[in-house]
Amino acid sequence: MINLEVPETLATVVSQAHRAAAEILRPGSRRNDRAEHTRPPELDVLGPLADHLSAFGPGGGPKPANKAENRNGSNLTSVLGIMEMCWGDAGLLLSLPRLGLGNAAIASVANEEQAKRFAGKWAAMAITEPDCGSDSAAIRTTAALDGDEYVLDGEKIFVTSGERADVVVVWATLDKSKGRAAIKSFVVEKGTPGFELVRLEHKLGIRASDTAHFRLENVRVPRENLLGDPEIDVRRGFAGVMQTFDNTRPLVAAMAVGVARAALDETRRLLTDAGLTIDYDRAGPRQPAAVAAFIALEADYEASYLLTLEAAWMADNARPNSLPASMAKAKAGRCATDITLRCIELVGSLGYSEDSLLEKWARDAKIMDIFEGTQQVQQLIVARRLLGKSSTELK
């Protein structure tokens, strides 16, 4: 039966996440934003919470026993939890120990031995290189088998939590001539000789989260640190990696939704304090411009929110969700930027000042439309599916 409300069964998790967001994440938002590259003190408290949340992570939890049965499982729980946490602070959410993208990758493609060996490690993910953005097939970092070890050489940028994580999952190619199929991911322990932190980035937003730039020179890792299948299978080699993205896109969409809601909640408070009433029934040309604008922004929020829930719900019910995942990411990514920027304008100079968090959210939001596949990448994925086109036809 069609119902788009959060079920009672998840209410507790959601309200716990909201409480953590309100009581732990939000209060330090401005401090952590100003103290870029300083480890947020909240991380110590958040470690245990993160471990609790990771039990609900995407791909985690039991699978549906019966295909016909409707499930509200770990994916839905994750996106709801993330929305609340990012309502608190997106930078801190991204810094949560052991909830890194690398952990998602390990969860998706590690074998049993690896899963056990890396359990409890905080894993960052290193994909992007100075000269490759969305084009992961252009990866130049190489991995060469030498005895029982792979030797990695290359350069990686935009590694979220790269400094704070215990290990980094590094994408590298076994053979540049074989394209995407030859790209594998390798777990590199921090402190491995030749694995050098070049710098931390100064960023527009999400400054509580560290973003690292690494150089790999003759970095040797045990051959058992290659995640998944070491063979180059041209037919399906890349599938495992892309699978990770199908799982993580709804999470990023959820982050965007959380930030957008933070801005809307604060703007609503300021508008109503200033004497305006948000009357949904009377929405029309005679109401104050700020109210009409607010409702239009809230409509885009609602769209982003529901697309995100849909993508997670489909994953919970073992339906292919690549299309809705990209739809959610595309819509939520662009709307979070629009909404947070417009909220500042509605409020005025007060919203532009560091006295308010509105300006921070407009800086944080912009990354949601960029990382884990830009707006353009999501549009390509959606368009290719709808039009039945390959990546060589629709580039």
Residue 328: alpha-carbon gap to chain centroid: 12
Residue 47 carries which side chain, given as an amino acid letter? G
CB atoms within 10 A of CB 170: 29
Say which entry of other proteins, its own copies, none residue 236 contacts (CB below 5 to 8 A, set by partner kind). none
The yes or no reply on residue 89 touching other proteins (CB under 8 A) is no
The yes or no reply on residue 126 touching other proteins (CB under 8 A) is no
Active site residue 84: no
Candidates 107, 391, 130, 365; CA nearest to 248 is 107
The yes or no reply on residue 320 touching other proteins (CB under 8 A) is no
Say which entry of its own copies, other proteins, none residue 293 contacts (CB below 5 to 8 A, set by partner kind). its own copies
Residue 57: alpha-carbon gap to chain centroid: 12
CB-based contact 96:53 (threshold 8 Å)? yes
Instruction: For the CB of residue 58, give the shortest distance to other proteins in the complex, in Å.
Output: 16
Which pairing describes strands 211-222 and 195-200: parallel, antiparallel, or unpaired? antiparallel
Instruction: For the CB of residue 266, give the shortest distance to its own copies in the complex, in Å.
Output: 15
Pairwise CA distance, residues 58 & 79, whole Å: 9
Residue closer to other proteins (CB basis): 226 or 332? 332
The yes or no reply on residue 47 touching its own copies (CB under 8 A) is no
Pairwise CA distance, residues 53 & 57, whole Å: 7
The yes or no reply on residue 325 touching other proteins (CB under 8 A) is no
Pairwise CA distance, residues 395 & 388, whole Å: 13
Instruction: For the CB of residue 233, give the shortest distance to other proteins in the complex, in Å.
Output: 22
Residue closer to other proteins (CB basis): 109 or 336? 336
The yes or no reply on residue 383 touching its own copies (CB under 8 A) is no
Instruction: For the CB of residue 100, give the shortest distance to other proteins in the complex, in Å.
Output: 17
Sole window of 162-170, 256-264, 287-295, 379-387 interacting with its own copies (rule: CB under 8 A) = 287-295
CA distances 166 to 107, 187, 211, 224, 310, Å, are 16, 10, 14, 17, 33
Q: Determine which residue in the list 240, 288, 379, 385 makes contact with its own copies, applying CB under 8 A.
A: 288
Binding to its own copies in span 292-331, by CB under 8 A: 292-293
CA distances 62 to 11, 55, 243, 263, 311, Å, are 19, 10, 18, 35, 18
The yes or no reply on residue 155 touching other proteins (CB under 8 A) is no
At 279, give phi and psi (nearest 5°): -105, 110
The yes or no reply on residue 393 touching its own copies (CB under 8 A) is no
Residue closer to its own copies (CB basis): 133 or 288? 288
Pairwise CA distance, residues 19 & 87, whole Å: 11
The yes or no reply on residue 193 touching its own copies (CB under 8 A) is no
At 226, give phi and psi (nearest 5°): -75, 125
Sole window of 61-69, 228-236, 279-287, 305-313 interacting with its own copies (rule: CB under 8 A) = 279-287
Which residue of the set 23, 155, 372, 393 is catalytic? Answer: 372
Pairwise CA distance, residues 88 & 19, whole Å: 9
Q: Determine which residue in the list 144, 239, 302, 320 makes contact with other proteins, applying CB under 8 A.
A: 302
Binding to other proteins in span 48-87, by CB under 8 A: 70-72, 76, 80, 84
Pairwise CA distance, residues 347 & 364, whole Å: 18
Pairwise CA distance, residues 311 & 328, whole Å: 7
The yes or no reply on residue 236 touching other proteins (CB under 8 A) is no
Instruction: For the CB of residue 217, give the shortest distance to other proteins in the complex, in Å.
Output: 22
Interacting residue ranges for its own copies, rule: CB under 8 A: 276, 284-293, 346, 348
**What are the catalytic residues?**
372
